Amino acid sequence: MQESEFEFADFIYYTPSGMDKEWQLWPLRAGRNVAKPDYRVGPRRIECYSLHFVLDGAIRVEYGDGRVDLRRGDLFCLYPGKSYCYYRLSPEHEPPLQLRWLALDGPKVKSLLELTGLTSEAPFLHNAYNTSVEETLERLYEALKAVATVRTALSLELQSLLLKLLAQLIPDVASDKQTASDGYGWIRRCVDYMELHALEGITVQQVAHYAGLHRSYFSDTFARQVGVPPADYLRQIRMNKAKQLLLDTDASVSEIALTIGYPNLYSFTRAFKQYFQISPSAYRRNSSHL
């Protein structure tokens, strides 16, 4: 580590390529330090986003009109164009302050940080630094050092690690109670899920699991809000797709059956006839005369 007036620190600098910028998310620099007793940064501003993880010790962060004291396992984020100041808290019982940081930029950063709970008005998280985050940061540091490698491969690796890190910072707050009480927004999500995956043969139980709800509660509430039971909604999606394939393609009835999620020709033909009161083959023949 290099010694300066306020710290011992390592720094890694990275210049994003055109491919990095295509992802709308890229790293700029990273580092770690051991702070001296009079460690202080700011007041100042930066032009990017910078995540700072507290590895040990205690730090006070001042941002705008706010202030927060953070300790081991916490993190804070510096936002572009915002004034900030942070400095070591050094009560006798506190170990030396150690920080680790990663600076990011790009159009996507702000919205991705919001998923973790970070905003410019509340730029900190408690208990965010754990073994998984530490491992991902280590891999990011090693990748950032590898500037002599093929740029395409490095850009892909960095993008993967950045998204993994941000995903690890998103709090796990899902629960049946929360899902059920979000104003039925989960129904819209389930409808999207069903329309996207109905042709893969998903079941009502799988959709209920996706919603995080017991099947009976999910089915009753879905039917009440949408107007049809979820099994009927899945069937409707499949039958409409089957009708389209019969009219617009030369795929065989057997191929259509497998395409829309039925295990065999017999189960599809029976379901189609129950739904439209005509067999798939007869529907195709009749439609060809129109």
Instruction: Report the predicted TM-score, pTM, of the whole model to 2 decimal places.
Output: 0.67
- CATH code assigned at 209: 1.10.10.60
Number of domains in the chain: 2
155 and 279 in a common domain: no
- CATH code assigned at 59: 2.60.120.280
Q: What is the residue range of 283's domain?
A: 176-288
What pLDDT shows up at residue 8? Answer: 93
180 and 156 in a common domain: no
Residue 53 sits at φ, ψ, to 5 deg, of -105, 135
- Dump pLDDT digits (tens) for 130-179: 999 999 999 999 888 876 555 677 888 899 999 999 999 988 654 444 44
Q: What is the dihedral of CA 154, 160, 163, 169, to 10 degrees?
A: -100
230 and 160 in a common domain: no
202 and 85 in a common domain: no
Which of 135, 152, 169 is a domain's end point?
169
Q: Across-strand partners of 31?
A: 11, 101
184 and 164 in a common domain: no
134 and 6 in a common domain: yes
185 and 63 in a common domain: no
Which of 119, 144, 169 is a domain's end point?
169
200 and 161 in a common domain: no
Which of 150, 169, 188 is a domain's end point?
169
183 and 244 in a common domain: yes
Instruction: Name the DSSP letter for residue 150.
Output: -
Q: Which residues of the chain carry a pLDDT beneath 50?
A: 174-181
Largest CA distance in the chain: 90
- Dump pLDDT digits (tens) for 229-255: 999 999 999 999 999 999 999 999 999
Q: Across-strand partners of 3?
A: 8
What pLDDT shows up at residue 182? Answer: 54
C-alpha distances in Å from residue 179, one per residue of 167, 190, 218: 20, 12, 11
166 and 112 Cβ atoms separated by less than 8 Å: yes
